[in-house]
Amino acid sequence: MKKYFVLGMIISLAIACRPDPYKEIGESYSVITGLQGDWTLAKVEIEDRSFPQWETMEVSDYFLNGNAVEINFDAGSTSYAISANSLDGLPFASLNGVYAFDDPEFPSNMYLISTGTDTTKVELGSMVREIDQLMLFQEMKSSCDQVYARYIYTFNRK
């Protein structure tokens, strides 16, 4: 009788310890439709990489002092429009144009192609989904093949 009890306990434990079957996660988010809408520049930071201990400094006042920067992305036409008094110091070459990604499924860079011949490459700091409220662009500054600074532009969804 003792054998059957121990055997029954082992079988019960084996059945109880089975993992649940995998469930569908749902549809993946598209970065192309995630950009859709209006964005406002909220913060600009510079990460100084010239020293062994990197330091980050917020310089938003310099970029935003009297210069509200807003950008609108239209996913249907893959176009963008920027509203700003000045683009000085910002990683944009023109106020409007179309955009494209280096890899539509897993992008790391976005190309802003103006109506003229200017094309600006902006590194994506994060993938933007429709539910996200923040969008990060980053721009690496280098000299002699060494990165000495990273500019981080933080946008809030309007």
Residue 103, token pair as written in the block: 């890899």
The answer to whether residue 12 sits within a structural domain is no
User: What pLDDT score does 40 carry?
Assistant: 92
Half-sphere exposure of 71 (CA within 13 A, CB side): 29
Half-sphere exposure of 117 (CA within 13 A, CB side): 0
What is the distance between the alpha carbons of residues 3 and 154, in angstroms, rounded to a whole number?
67
The answer to whether residue 88 sits within a structural domain is yes
The answer to whether residue 128 sits within a structural domain is yes
Q: State pTM to two decimals.
A: 0.75
Residue ranges, the chain, pLDDT below 50: none
Q: Which domain holds residue 92?
A: 28-157
The answer to whether residue 11 sits within a structural domain is no
CATH number of the domain that residue 130 is part of: 2.40.128.540
Residue 22, token pair as written in the block: 């995998």
What is the distance between the alpha carbons of residues 154 and 34, in angstroms, rounded to a whole number?
15
Residue 140's φ and ψ, nearest 5 degrees, are: -95, 135
Write the CB contacts of 69 (distance below 8 Å, at least 6 apart in sequence).
40, 41, 63, 82, 83, 84, 90
Nearest C-alpha neighbor of 148 from the set 45, 46, 56, 50? 50
Nearest C-alpha neighbor of 46 from the set 158, 154, 157? 154
pLDDT tens digits, residue range 29-38? Answer: 776 778 889 9
The tally of domains found in the chain comes to 1
What separation in angstroms does the CA of 96 have from each of 5, 50, 61, 111, 141?
Answer: 76, 34, 24, 12, 24
User: What pLDDT score does 38 carry?
Assistant: 94
